[in-house]
Chain A
Amino acid sequence: MHRILEIISDLFVGWFYKKTAGYGALTDDDARINNLAVALGFAASACDGQMSEEEIHTIESWAKTNITTSNDTRNFHKAMTATKAFFHAGNNIDCSGICREITVKSPLAHRYRIIELCMKVVSADGIAKASELEFLRNLFIWLELNHTTVAMMMETFVPVNIQETPDAEFILGLDESMSEQDRYEKLNREYKKWNGRVTNNDNSIRIQAKKMIELISLLRNNSTANIAQRI
């Protein structure tokens, strides 16, 4: 494990013991997992080569609500600043390794909260870049999450209209193991869903819905063309 994680863990976990001794509500693991989540949040922020104010703010407020000892402001800021500086200097952490540890130690529900944090970070500045989307795709695999659930979360937290290079298959929850028939059915279901949203009162949802409809019809078009070619 990289040194920065030790720092984050030490600071955050250290505090945790100081402040909550005797409660026993959280286990060591829970506290550590939350720290690792913050580290992943930073990695998500840094993966496009720049960490925006909005991204940092998102991580900070997550940490404040999820890390019990964050009201120890001085140490909290120390941890944040150290971590920021670490990533600013172009350093990185072993995200797949961290995810492996998280998958062993924490339940599924918790892992969804972590990818949710990273989704929020990635979309905080109003645009999700190619590298950020790549990061989320990896996280989804490393954390061994369910594709349908992650696709639904993406709808909410990283709407297609803010994605620089939307990966239709990932967004729609399609994967290679699906049969042609399953793909068709899934695409139809998604089309129906988004077609019902194109008249939403909220303009940003209308934009998202139109973009989704475009993506879905292109995928359907590719599938049809593939089948035609085989025949």
Chain B
Amino acid sequence: MSTIAGIDLGTTFSAISILNSIGKPEILPNSDGERITPSAIFFDEENPDIIRVGIEAINSRYINSKRSVRWVKRHMGDNNYSVNIDGKNWTAVELSSLILKKLKQDASAEHGQIKDVVISVPAHFDEVRRKATMDAGKLAGLNVIGIINEPVAAALYYASTQTVSGKIMVYDLGGGTFDVTIMNVEGNNINIICSQGNHELGGIDFDKRIYEKIVECYKEQYKDSLINSDEDSAKYEDEAEDIKKTLSRREIAKKMIYGSSGNLRFEMTREDYEKSISDLLDQADMLIDIALEEANLSAKDIDKVLLVGGSTRMPVVQQRLKDKFGFAPEISVNVDECVALGAAIHAGLTLMSQDSTKVSAGIAGGLSSINLKDVCNHSYGTLCAPIDRETGQRIIANRVILSKNTVLPCQATQMFYTMEENQSEIEIIITQGEDADPRFVNRIAHKKLKLPKNRPAKCPIRVTYSYDLNQRMHCSFEDVESNKTLEVDLSLDEFSQLDEKQIEENSKDLAGFCVK
């Protein structure tokens, strides 16, 4: 039986955990003995076959930042993103696979081969990004048995370690992303209600505000630019992060800045810092409001707020939540590790449901009482051509069939009608998104259904979408009179930008590199 693992692939830090013999998750430290590994990559200049991941990569940035990469998660799913090193264009998926490979390697050294894993993603990641994450796992030689939402993973771990009940809100503010998830927990029964989030809101955005302030102050004093190279940027990005962390402990942070025109004594108070990021935290507040509204709840209905992610260590975050909910948020769980820990639990649950013989009795016993009910992460619909009430003309509109936040597994049906006499086929476009305006939704499949001849207009077409626990969607389009049906299956694989063969070829390419 192979080791079952969960991975938190973070914007700034990643972590891996496994299930021990009694089904309890444990973090595995990396080869440096650290429990979390910086999601940073450095392409060694002396040995072009060696790629360094983790703290080594962070340190090397100051020396040669052109060969270093960070924050890849921001670019997941972006076809236009790549980093050129020694003539090879590295995609976000390939870069992420290097981080995963490092985690896998270090963990396997002590615990035997790691193969079956669940990787976590922000709750609001769309299909393309989820699939890109899976592909990265495959490239790293992992068998990705599932993808779990980060806040859900955190809640799984939380609920399995303490007795909780009531409406829980998970507030996950990490290095690059923000998620808020509301759930109903009764002992080991966890029912997700809804999630909201922003995949470009996190610690690195806060750092940026301090960085800009340092650069501005330097310019003011010396009429000269502090930043003259990528290495300078790398250095002061880290100085800014350091100042931010100091301000979580103290009211004021002081730092000597050694620039080429002279030295600057930089000071920042917590108050000034909090002011400088208040519009960003307002976005988090708005997302809480939106999530509460989606859940049909108000702040006073929430029993507990659970903090996840390194950025929740900022006092201002905790204070804002206290002001909003009237009680202090829960900070007892380890904010950096609970996502990986929960992902391992989910991996155990997934394997058990797929094939219970793959899970040892001890693990199965440890997990048997946990019961998770998740919801649909997005809305799915179809394009249709209704008549506009105001103008009386036909317009193209998106009609949602399966709504976001419906409890999984789920199914929904709607009736549509053919538009013309003798209509020979219908064009079917499956969409993801909530907007009625077709420009603002993503088209995820395009098919045609042939129809019988010689019929009047307005023949009914029954459209049914269903979504299962493994995030697979099934759509059927049925011509009611003739019973003719078009079936469309959409698993995450449909969103792949790589097919199996490409993955195999890419894996071979990557095998030539040694990750350290």
Contacts and interface: CB of A to CB of B under 8 A. Distances in A.
Pairing of A with B: yes
Interface of A: 109, 156, 184, 187-188, 191-193, 195-202, 205, 210, 213, 216-218, 220-221, 224-225
Contacts of A197: 433, 435, 440
B443 A201 contact: yes
Given A109-B390, A188-B290, A220-B286, A196 B279 contact: no
Contacts of A195: 196, 198, 287
Given A188-B290, A192-B196, A196-B435, 5 more contacts: A191-B290, A200-B433, A217-B280, A224-B282, A225-B278
Contacts of A193: 435
B368 interface: no
B8 to A, nearest CB: 21
Interface string B127-140: 01100000000000
Contacts of B289: 184, 188
Given A109-B390, A199-B126, A199-B442, A217 B434 contact: no
B283 interface: yes
30 contacts: A109-B390, A109-B391, A156-B437, A184-B289, A187-B286, A191-B286, A191-B287, A192-B196, A195-B198, A196-B433, A196-B435, A196-B440, A197-B440, A198-B198, A199-B77, A199-B126, A200-B442, A201-B442, A202-B439, A205-B440, A216-B286, A217-B279, A217-B283, A217-B286, A220-B279, A220-B283, A220-B285, A224-B278, A224-B282, A225-B278
A198 B122 CA distance: 15
Given A191-B290, A196-B433, A213 B440 contact: no
A200 B126 CA distance: 10
B200 to A, nearest CB: 8
Given A199-B442, A200-B440, A217 B282 contact: yes
A188 B279 contact: no
A222 B287 CA distance: 17
Given A196-B433, A197-B435, A188 B293 contact: yes
Contact of B283 (A109, A201, A213): A213
Interface string B430-465: 000111010111110000000000000000000000
Nearest to B291: A192
B147 to A, nearest CB: 16
Interface string B179-202: 000000000000000001011100
Contact of B282 (A156, A192, A196, A221): A221
A209 to B, nearest CB: 9
A220 B288 CA distance: 14
Question: Secondary structure at chain A's binding surface: helix, strand, loop or mixed?
Answer: helix
Nearest to A191: B286
A192 B196 CA distance: 9
Contacts of B293: 188
Contacts of A192: 196, 290
Contacts of A225: 278
A131 to B, nearest CB: 28
Interface string B215-257: 0000000000000000000000000000000000000000000
A196 B199 CA distance: 11
Nearest to B77: A199
Contact of A221 (B128, B278, B433, B442): B278
Contact of A188 (B129, B200, B286, B442): B286
Most chain B C-beta atoms within 10 Å of own C-beta, residue among A192, A199, A213: A199
A221 B276 CA distance: 11
A205 B286 CA distance: 21
A143 B287 CA distance: 36
Nearest to B129: A199
Contacts of A218: 279
Nearest to A223: B282
A191 B439 contact: no
Contacts of B443: 201
A15 B446 CA distance: 47
Contacts of A202: 439
Nearest to A193: B435
A205 to B, nearest CB: 7
A194 to B, nearest CB: 9
Contacts of B433: 196-197, 200
Interface in B376-395: 390-391
Contacts of B391: 109
Nearest 5 A-B pairs (CB), nearest first? A221-B279, A220-B282, A217-B279, A191-B286, A217-B283
Contacts of B200: 198, 210
A201 B79 CA distance: 10
A180 to B, nearest CB: 14
Residue among A156, A188, A196, A205 having the largest count of chain B Cβ atoms under 10 Å: A196
Contacts of A216: 286
A201 B200 CA distance: 17
Interface in B266-324: 278-280, 282-283, 285-287, 289-290, 293
A195 to B, nearest CB: 6
A191 B391 CA distance: 29
A216 to B, nearest CB: 8
Given A109-B391, A188-B289, A205-B440, A196 B280 contact: no
A102 B433 CA distance: 38
A231 to B, nearest CB: 11
B290 A205 contact: no
Contacts of B287: 191, 195
In this complex, the member of A184, A188, A217, A224 whose beta carbon has the largest number of chain B beta carbons within 10 angstroms is A217
